[in-house]
Amino acid sequence: MTDIEVRPSSPPPEEEQRQDDETTIVLTAIDTSNLASRVVDLAARVARRTWNNAQLHLIHVVRAARFDRPKQSGIRREDVIAEAKNYLDYYVRVARRQSPAPVTGHLAEGDPVDEILRHARSLSADLVIVGTHDTVGLERFLLGSVAEKVIRRAPCPALVVRVKQRAYTKVS
């Protein structure tokens, strides 16, 4: 009987080099909720700590069509778009301070689920990060959950960020 030496398999050096040089695209969706800061913070940390060659893309989707706001409100579409752009620019600056990865902002107009998924596909995203408000009951039935729809249909892994639940403490 002959002895066979078993060595752990490792990729050839050229394949290992290729994997290290490969760019990882992280697409992060932000909305106008209080959760946006937490989502950007987590996305910047994930990009910074997980991949050497990560690119962080932030997307903010605005509904600026006439039927998305009351006609009597007097708010012009141009004003809605300008405010959304300022909001996105703020979070791009925040992400750039938190991560050495290149950060790009994308402003889209339309249905949030469709736009997030369209950008994920066009960027060939490796990870999509979304926040959730954990709506329940009638609100969820009527509005649906953007996060739930995105994770069900995303072309890549998706990470959901939510507010951390604290342990219930009975106060006497």
As given in the structure block, the two tokens for residue 44 are: 């910047």
What residues contact 8, with CB distance under 8 A and at least 6 apart? none
What token pair was written down for 55? 């690119």
Model pLDDT for residues 37-74, shown as the tens digit of each residue? 999 999 999 998 988 899 999 999 998 665 555 555 67
Q: pLDDT at position 111, please?
A: 92
Confidence tier at 15 by pLDDT (50, 70, 90): very low
Q: Which pLDDT tens digit goes with each residue over 94-153?
A: 999 999 999 999 999 999 999 999 999 999 999 999 998 755 554 444 445 888 899 999
Amino acid at 142: L
**Which domains, ranges and CATH numbers included, belong to the chain?**
22-161 (3.40.50.620)
pTM for the whole thing? 0.77
